[in-house]
Chains A and B, each alone.
Chain A
Amino acid sequence: MKWILTVFVVAVLLIGAGVVLTDGDGGGDAVSADPEAHLLCEEGMEYLHSFRWNRAVETLSEALELDPTLAEASVGLVHAYANLARGEDAKSELARADSLTAALADDSRRLVAAFRLSRSAGSRYFSMADSLMKSLENEQPRNLYLLVTKARSAYDEGDEELAKRRWKEVIEVDPNFTDSYNMLGYGELNRGNYEAAIDYMQKYAFLAPELANPHDSLGEVYMVVGRYEDAEAQFVQAIQKQPDFYHSLINLGRVHLKRGQVAKGTDILERVRKQVATTDMAQRVDQDIITMYRAGGLDEELDRLTASFVTTYPSSDISPFYRAVRMAYMGNYREGQAVMDSCVSTWRGSSYYAISEKVRFNVDLLARIYDGIVADISGETQTAVRVWQNVVDTIADVLPVRDQADERFAFASALHNNGQHDPALEVLEPLMAVNSRDFKVLELAVECYVATNRPDAARAALERYKWCTERSDPDFPARERAPVLEELVRGIEVDS
C-alpha cells in the first residue's frame, strides 16, 4: 500500500509539473494563441533573417491568414516587401503593421514591433526611433533587432571594432542572422583580415544559398586578394541565382578588366548596360562603370561612356561633373573648368545646398576632387599636392578613415611624386593602421621607405605585401609587382 501511495504522489507531482511547464510554454514566448501561426511566424522570421524574402513573404502571409492580429508577422512582411522593392505592398503592409502594433496588449511585444517599424520611413513610429531604442535598451538589452541596429550604427560611424563586437553579439543571440556575417565579412575586409572575411562571407553564402548577394560579397573579397578564379566563380554563381543582379555582372566585368582581359570585361559591362538600359538601375550602373574605367585607366572607354552618360542623362546632377572630367582627360582644361564652375555654381544655388550640410560637403568635395584629377592629369605635381591636401583636409574629420582611402592615396601619391616621401608616409599611416594589407597602400609605402632609405620598414611592408600575393592567382597585378619591389628593398638593404 505504501508504495502505491508513493506512486500516486509521484504521479501527482508529474502532472503538476507538466501542467506548470505547459502553461509556461504557452504563455512565455508565443506570439499567437494559434500554435501553427506562431510556428509560421517564427519560420518566416528565420527566412527574413536569411534574406529569403519571397519565402518570408509566403510564410508570414500564411501566419497572418491564420492569425490576422499577428503584428510581428506584419512587421516582418513590411521588411520583406521593402527588400523585394515592392513599394506599394510595403506601404500598405506598413499601415497594417502600425495598427496591429498599436493594438498589442503586451508591452514587451509592442515595444519590439514598434522599434522595428521605427526604422521605416512612413511609419507612425519613425519619429520615435531614438526614444524607442532607449526604451528597448533598458527593457531588452539583448534584443536581436536592437543589437542589429546598434551594429549597423557602429559600422556607419566607422567604428570597426565596435561594429565587430556588436555583430558578434547578434550572432550569439541568433547564429543564423545572415546579414551579420555579411557585415562582419566587410568589416574584416576593410581591416585587411582577408581570411576572416572569406570565412564570414562563406558562412553568409552558406546561410543564404538562394541569394546572389552573398556570392557577390564573397567574390569581392576574392577579387581584392587576387583570387580571380574564385571571384569569377562566385560572381557567376550569383548571376545564376539572380540573373538581374547587376552588381555581380559589373564585378564579373571588373575581374576581367583587372586580369587584363579588357575586351571581355568591357563586353560584359556593355551587356550589363544593355540589360539594365530600360530599368531604373541604368543610370546607377553607368556611374559604377565610369568609376571603374577611370580607376582602371581605360581612358578610351571612359571617354566613350562619359559622353554617352552626358547625352543620355543630360539633366542628371552628376552629368556636368562627368563632362568636365571628360574634357580634362581630353586636355581641354579651360573648358572643363568652366563646365565644372558652372556646375558647382548651379549646385550652390540650389535650396538643398542652403539647408543641407551634407549636400554642401559633397558639392565642395566634388569640386576639390575635380581639381585634384585635373592636377594629376596635367602632371602638375606641386598643384596636385596642394589640391589633394585640400581634399584630405576636407574629409579628415568627417568621413571614417576607410572612406578616405582613395583621397589619401591620391594625396600620398602626389607627395611621393613630388619627392616628399616622409609626408606621403604620414598620410598613408592612418590607412595602414586600419588595413595593414591594402596592396595599393603597401606598394606606395614600400616605395616611400626605399626612397627614404628605411630598409627595415620597407622589408616589413613588403613581407605583408608578399604574404597576400603568394596566395593570389598568377595574373594578380600585385603579384607581378612584388619582384620589382623586392629588388628595390634588397637594393637599400645591400647599401645599408
Chain B
Amino acid sequence: MPPERQNSNPLSGFYGLLLSRGAHLSVGIAVVIAVLFCGFDATRTRPSDGTVWSLAGQDLEVLDVLPSGGAAPTPLRRGDIIVGINHRIMPSPQKAAEELRRHEPGQAVDYLVRRDGRQVTMPVPLRSTRVDLEDYTVNVLLASVYLIIGFAVFLRSGNDRPASLFFMLCLAFGLYFMTNLQQTNYFLGALITQNIGAFARFVLPAIFLHFFLVFPTKKLRLTRHPFLAPLIYLLPVMFYIRFTLDQVIGREGAKIDAVTWILLGVYYVLGLVALLHSYFNYRDPLMRQRVRILTFGTLAAVVPFLIFKIGLEELTYRSGLTRLGAVPLVMIPISFGYCVARYRVLQIDLLLKRNLAHGLLSGAIWIVYLGGAWWLGGRVLTLLPDASPLSAAGVTLAVTAVLWPARARLQRSLDLGFYRSRDNMAGLLEEFSKEIPRLLQREALLQRVGGRLVEVLGLPGMAVYLVDGNDDDGVFVLAGAVSGGYAAMTGTEPPAETGDHYPRRLGLPSIAAVLEERGEPFWADAGEALELDERPAITREQAELKARALEQFRLGDIGIQLLVPMITQNRLVGIVALPPRPDEADYEAHELQLLNIVAGQVALQVENSRLYEEEVAKQKLEEEMVMARQIQSRLLPRVIPVFEGVEIQAVNISSKQVSGDYYDMIERDDGVLGIVIADVSGKGMPASILASNIQAALRAQCDNCESPAVVLERINRQIHASTDPQHFATLFLALFDPATRRLRYSSGGHNAPIIIRADSTVELLEEGGLPLGAFDFGSYDEGNVQLEPGDLLFLYTDGLTETKGLDGDEDFGEDRLNDLLREARTDGVTSIFENIGDRLRDFSGRTDADDDITMIGLKIQGADEAAVANAGGRR
C-alpha cells in the first residue's frame, strides 16, 4: 500500500478489524453464549414483588410497578421506600434480592414500607419472573430458527457485507426472542438478561434497516456516503445508553417508552421501504424472481410485528398479542433460507442434503465432546475437595482444551469426507494463484488453465472468448478451446485447439452488458428465456430482454450452458464458455465460485498479456521509426547544387510518424540537373525502403536517359514487379538545363508543381501518368517548359496542401498556396519557404505537421538578383 494511503485514514485498520469475518464470528459466539445464558436464566425461579427498584442511592425506592400479567397485584406503589422484607431491614438492593430469593413465588412476604412519610407493614405477594412455558417455547423455537439460518448463511458465505449483516440480523433476532422474559432489575442474572434484551431491541431495527440498504442491491446513496451506515446506529446506541443510565440513576426505572418504540418502528418501516424499492427497481424479471419470496416473506413477518407487537402490545400495553406479533417473524429466516437454497442469493453455497447429514454428524461429535468434557471434568473435580465455582470453571476449561485436538481431528475427518471437493477447490485456487501470473503467453495461459479446469470439473470441454479488440458491440473472438481429452494428455504439450465446434466469433451484445454489470456467471439455458421470446417486445426493456433471450438460444444451440465473465478493472475482457455437464448435473456453487475467481485471475493476466504485447509492438514501431527516419534522411541530398542565375532550395519537414516523402537533386555530367520529389505510400520502414529503391533506380536511370517519361515508365515497371500493389509512390521528375533554362518533366501521379511567372501568371506542370508501382501498364507523358528570369518553380508534396485548419475540416489547399506564391514571387526561395511555414502554422494552429511536408523552390533570378547572389560568394 502506498504511504499516502496508509496515512489517509488512521481508523481504517480498526474499521477493517471491526468488519472482519473474525470479528463477526466472535460476535456470533458471544451471542450464542448470551442466548444460552438467557435460556438458562429463563429456567430460574426468581420470586419478584412486581416492582422496579432504584439501584442507586441509599433508599430502596420503588421506581415502577410492572403489569401484574394475571398474577396477584402488588400493593406496592411507585415512590414507596422498601425498608424491610420478611422482618429484616434491607440496607441494599443486593440484600433485598438475596432475601427474596429465599422465598417461593406465590408466597406473601411482609414488607415494611415508607409511604407518604409513614411506615407501614404490608404483605406483598411474590410472583415468578418465569414466563408462560408455551410462550417461551415459541420464542426459543423462533430464536433457534434465526440462529441456525444465520450461522448457515455466515459459514457458507465469503466475507460478503450483506451476508454478514444478515448474520448480525439473525443474531439480534435470536437475542430478542430469548430475552422475552418478565424481568426484575434486582437479580444479577435478570439484570444481565434485561440488558441483553434491551440492547437487542435497540440495535435490531438499525441492523434491519442497514441490511436492506445493502441487500438485495446496495443503495447508491450509501455507496456515495459511507458515513451514513454508522449514522444509522447512532440513535439506537444513544437509546441504549439512556436505558443503561436509567437503570442506575433513573427516576422511573429503565424502560423503552412509547416515543422510542415509535422511532424504532420507523426504522423497521424504512427497512421495508428500502427492500420494496430494490424489488420494484429490478428491471430484470429474473433478478426480481430471485428476491420475490424473501421480499414478501419479510413483509409478511414485519407488518404483523409492527402492528401487534409494537403497535398494540408496546404502545397500548395490550398483553396477549405476543404470538401474533412474534410468530410471523419466522417468515424472514425461512424465506431467506428458501431463496438461498433455490436461487443462491447472498452468493451462498447451501447444499441442503449434505449439510443436514454433515450437521447431524458434527452435532454428534460436539455432543460427545462436551459430554466427555463434562464427565471428565466431574471426575477431576472429585479430586479437589471444596472446589469453588472458579476452580470448577478452570477444570472444565482445561478438560475441554485437552479434548479439543481429538474433536478437531474427528471434525476434520468428517469435513474431508463431505467436502473433499471443496478442499480440492481450495488447493486448485492456490495452484492457479501461483501459476497464472507466470503464464504471460496468452495461448499457453488459456490452454493450461482451461485444461486444468476441464480436468478437475470433469467437463467435456470449454472455450475462452476474448472481446474483439476495442469493439464495444459485444463481439467475442475465440481465443482458445480445450476438450476433456486433454485431461489424459499429461506430459504432452497441450493441443493448440481442440474445440472445433465452437464458433470463431460470438456476437452477444445483450448478454455482454449483463455480464459486465453483474460480474456473475450467466446461465445461458434459463427457462424464462422461452417465455420472453414468445412475448411481443413493446418497450425498450422488453426488446433488450428479448434480444438476450435470442442470444441465449444461440448459445444453447452451440452447446454452451454457462458463461463466466472475465472482468478486470470493471471491464469485461472475455468470457469462459462452458458446456452442460455430461451427467446433466448442475454446476455446484463452489464450482461457480472457483470458475468466477479463476476467470477473474485469467482476465487480469490476459489484460496484462495484451498490455505487454502492445508495449512490445510499440517499442518495435518506435525502433522502426528511428531506422526509417535514418534511411530517409540519407536519401535526401546533403548539398543543394548551385547554378548561376538560379536559386534552388529544398526543405523536408518530418512529422512524428515517418512517412515516405523524399526529394533528390541529381547532377549529371552534362550539367543538367535532375529534380525529383516523391511521396511514397505508407509509413515507417516499408515506405522508407520503397523510397530508397526508387532513389537508387532514379539515379541509375537519370544518367543515361534524356526523357523523364521513359525514366518513369521504367521505374514503374521495376517497382511494380518488386512490391505489392498497395505500395506505390507519386513522383515528379524534371530535368533542368541551367544553361538554357529549359525544363523537361513528367509526373507519376504527383501534385502538379507550380510555375509562377514573373508577371504572376500560374502554370501547372501536369503532364505525366499514374503513380509509380500501382499498375504495370502505365505510360507517362512528358512536358517541356522554358523558364524565364523572375519565374518561380515550386514543387511540393500533399502534406502541404492537405494540412488541416483549426476546425479540422478545411485543407490548406492549392488556391491558398497559389495566392501565397504569387504574393511572394519576388522574394527569395528561403523567404518564400519561411512565409509558407508561417502561414501553415497560422492556418493549423500547431507547430508540428500531420504529415511530412516537402518543398522545392527554383527561381530564375533577374540581373539584379544574380549580382547580389554572386556578391555572396556562391558558385
Chain A residues proximal to chain B, CB less than 8 Å:
4, 7-8, 10-19, 21-22, 25-26, 50, 171, 175-176, 195, 198-199, 202-203, 205-209
Asked if B392 is at the interface (CB within 8 A of a chain A CB), the reply is: yes
Classify chain B's interface size: 20 to 34
Residues of A within 8 A of B119 (CB): 198-199, 202-203
Check B88 against A15 for contact (C-beta < 8 Å): no
Looking at the complex, which of B319-327, B383-391, B486-494, B645-653 is the stretch in contact with chain A?
Answer: B383-391
Check B388 against A206 for contact (C-beta < 8 Å): no
Give B386's nearest chain A residue, CB to CB: A22
Q: Which 6 A-B pairs have the closest CB atoms?
A: A18-B391, A14-B394, A18-B390, A15-B394, A11-B398, A18-B388
Supply 25 A–B pairs (Cβ within 8 Å), ascending by A: A4-B405, A8-B401, A10-B397, A12-B394, A12-B398, A13-B394, A14-B391, A14-B394, A14-B397, A15-B391, A18-B390, A18-B393, A19-B388, A21-B390, A22-B388, A22-B391, A26-B386, A171-B89, A175-B88, A175-B91, A203-B83, A206-B83, A208-B87, A209-B87, A209-B110
Q: How far is the CB of A59 from chain B (nearest CB, A)?
A: 16
How would residues 97 to 131 of chain B score, 1 for a CB under 8 Å from any chain A CB and 0 otherwise?
00000000000001010100101010000000000
Q: How far is the CB of A173 from chain B (nearest CB, A)?
A: 11
Which secondary structure dominates where chain B touches chain A? mixed
How would residues 392 to 419 of chain B score, 1 for a CB under 8 Å from any chain A CB and 0 otherwise?
1111111011001100000000000000
Residues of A within 8 A of B114 (CB): 199
Check A18 against B394 for contact (C-beta < 8 Å): yes
Check B89 against A207 for contact (C-beta < 8 Å): yes
Residues of B within 8 A of A18 (CB): 387-394
Give B401's nearest chain A residue, CB to CB: A7
Give Cα A14 to B114, complex, Å: 44
Asked if B84 is at the interface (CB within 8 A of a chain A CB), the reply is: yes
Residues of B within 8 A of A198 (CB): 119
Check B397 against A50 for contact (C-beta < 8 Å): no
Which secondary structure dominates where chain A touches chain B? helix
Give Cα A205 to B600, complex, Å: 85
Give Cα A50 to B390, complex, Å: 35
Residues of B within 8 A of A17 (CB): 390-391, 394
How would residues 824 to 856 of chain B score, 1 for a CB under 8 Å from any chain A CB and 0 otherwise?
000000000000000000000000000000000
Give Cα A12 to B402, complex, Å: 13
Give Cα A13 to B391, complex, Å: 9
Q: How far is the CB of A199 from chain B (nearest CB, A)?
A: 6
Check B389 against A207 for contact (C-beta < 8 Å): no
Residues of A within 8 A of B84 (CB): 203, 206-207
Residues of A within 8 A of B392 (CB): 18
Q: How far is the CB of B372 from chain A (nearest CB, A)?
A: 16
Give Cα A403 to B397, complex, Å: 69
Check B387 against A22 for contact (C-beta < 8 Å): yes
Q: A22-B388, A176-B88 are in contact. Are A11 and B397 (CB under 8 A)?
A: yes
Check A50 against B401 for contact (C-beta < 8 Å): no
Give B395's nearest chain A residue, CB to CB: A15
Residues of B within 8 A of A199 (CB): 114, 119
Give B95's nearest chain A residue, CB to CB: A175
Give A50's nearest chain B residue, CB to CB: B87
Among B91, B112, B119, max chain A CB count under 10 A is at B119
How would residues 75 to 96 of chain B score, 1 for a CB under 8 Å from any chain A CB and 0 otherwise?
0000000011001111100000
Check A7 against B89 for contact (C-beta < 8 Å): no
Check A15 against B401 for contact (C-beta < 8 Å): no
Q: How far is the CB of B768 from chain A (nearest CB, A)?
A: 91
Q: How far is the CB of B165 from chain A (nearest CB, A)?
A: 28
Check B388 against A21 for contact (C-beta < 8 Å): yes
Check A207 against B401 for contact (C-beta < 8 Å): no
Give Cα A305 to B391, complex, Å: 74
Check A4 against B389 for contact (C-beta < 8 Å): no
Give A18's nearest chain B residue, CB to CB: B391
Give Cα A82 to B16, complex, Å: 75
Give Cα A175 to B117, complex, Å: 21
Residues of A within 8 A of B110 (CB): 206, 209
Give A16's nearest chain B residue, CB to CB: B394
Give Cα A195 to B393, complex, Å: 52
Give Cα A171 to B58, complex, Å: 14
Residues of A within 8 A of B90 (CB): 175
Check A11 against B89 for contact (C-beta < 8 Å): no
Give Cα A25 to B387, complex, Å: 11
Check B397 against A207 for contact (C-beta < 8 Å): no
Q: How far is the CB of B722 from chain A (nearest CB, A)?
A: 79
Residues of B within 8 A of A26 (CB): 386
Give A19's nearest chain B residue, CB to CB: B391
Give Cα A11 to B117, complex, Å: 53
Give Cα A374 to B388, complex, Å: 77
Q: A8-B398, A14-B390, A21-B390 are in contact. Are A202 and B87 (CB under 8 A)?
A: no
Q: A21-B388, A198-B119, A202-B119 are in contact. Are A15 and B398 (CB under 8 A)?
A: yes
Residues of A within 8 A of B91 (CB): 175
Check A7 against B405 for contact (C-beta < 8 Å): no
Check B89 against A4 for contact (C-beta < 8 Å): no
Check B401 against A14 for contact (C-beta < 8 Å): no
Give Cα A203 to B91, complex, Å: 13
How would residues 357 to 399 of chain B score, 1 for a CB under 8 Å from any chain A CB and 0 otherwise?
0000000000000000000000000001011111111111110
Given contacts A4-B401, A203-B83, 6 further A-B contacts (CB under 8 A): A12-B394, A18-B387, A21-B390, A25-B388, A202-B112, A203-B84
Give Cα A7 to B397, complex, Å: 7
Check A11 against B394 for contact (C-beta < 8 Å): yes
Q: How far is the CB of A357 from chain B (nearest CB, A)?
A: 41
Give Cα A35 to B119, complex, Å: 38
Give Cα A22 to B388, complex, Å: 6
Residues of A within 8 A of B89 (CB): 171, 175-176, 203, 206-207
Give Cα A206 to B121, complex, Å: 8
Contact among A16, A195, A203 with B112 in the assembled complex (CB-CB below 8 Å)? A203
How would residues 640 to 663 of chain B score, 1 for a CB under 8 Å from any chain A CB and 0 otherwise?
000000000000000000000000
Residues of B within 8 A of A195 (CB): 117
Residues of A within 8 A of B87 (CB): 50, 206-209
Give A6's nearest chain B residue, CB to CB: B401
Residues of A within 8 A of B386 (CB): 22, 26
Give Cα A14 to B381, complex, Å: 13
Check B112 against A206 for contact (C-beta < 8 Å): yes
Give B405's nearest chain A residue, CB to CB: A4
Give Cα A89 to B389, complex, Å: 43
How would residues 790 to 802 of chain B score, 1 for a CB under 8 Å from any chain A CB and 0 otherwise?
0000000000000
Q: How far is the CB of A196 from chain B (nearest CB, A)?
A: 11
Residues of A within 8 A of B395 (CB): 11, 15
Give Cα A184 to B114, complex, Å: 18
Q: How far is the CB of B49 from chain A (nearest CB, A)?
A: 16
Give Cα A19 to B388, complex, Å: 7
Residues of B within 8 A of A14 (CB): 390-391, 393-394, 397
Residues of B within 8 A of A10 (CB): 394, 397
Among A12, A14, A16, A195, max chain B CB count under 10 A is at A14
Residues of B within 8 A of A13 (CB): 394
Give Cα A199 to B117, complex, Å: 10
Give B89's nearest chain A residue, CB to CB: A175
Give Cα A176 to B397, complex, Å: 41
Give B400's nearest chain A residue, CB to CB: A7
Q: How far is the CB of A174 from chain B (nearest CB, A)?
A: 9
Give Cα A8 to B395, complex, Å: 9
Give Cα A233 to B388, complex, Å: 51
Give A8's nearest chain B residue, CB to CB: B401
Residues of A within 8 A of B387 (CB): 18, 22
Give Cα A199 to B84, complex, Å: 12
Give Cα A16 to B397, complex, Å: 13
Residues of A within 8 A of B393 (CB): 14, 18
Residues of B within 8 A of A207 (CB): 84, 87-89
Give Cα A359 to B709, complex, Å: 172
Residues of A within 8 A of B117 (CB): 195
Give Cα A198 to B84, complex, Å: 15
Give A1's nearest chain B residue, CB to CB: B405
Give Cα A123 to B411, complex, Å: 74
